[in-house]
Amino acid sequence: MASTHHEDYQLLVSMLRETRQREGTLQTEMATRLGTTQTFISKVERGERRLDVVELIEIFEALGVKPDEWIADYLAKRKAFHKVRQVKRKTPTFGQGKSTK
């Protein structure tokens, strides 16, 4: 569950990147605001560097985003994604189901 490749984490970093871009903030500007490097921001956005909750809140603050609203949006998108996956999993595939013996 702690993988940066997990679909929920990929959704999170994708939304972070979209938020930064929507706010018109370059990675270099973001790095300056956070006192870090552009490489760090790039690795976060590519899912190569896992964030902790403190770093996530600092990113929200640097972007001027309300954490509670952003997280509510994330949770809604996550729920919708999992609902779609659940429907797909309920659909039997060839070879599953009743035997034809």
pLDDT of residue 84: 80
Q: For the segment 31-83, what is each residue's pLDDT rounded down to a tens digit?
A: 999 999 999 999 999 999 999 999 999 999 999 999 999 999 999 999 998 88
Please state, in angstroms and rounded to a whole number, the distance separating the CA atoms of residues 9 and 44. 10
Spatial separation of the C-alpha atoms in residues 101 and 62, rounded to whole Å: 64
CATH topology of domain 7-90: 434 Repressor (Amino-terminal Domain) (1.10.260)
Domain ranges across the chain: 7-90
| Residues 47, 6 contacting (CB under 8 angstroms) | no
The yes-or-no verdict on residue 95 having pLDDT over 80 is no
8 Å CB contact between 31 and 41: yes
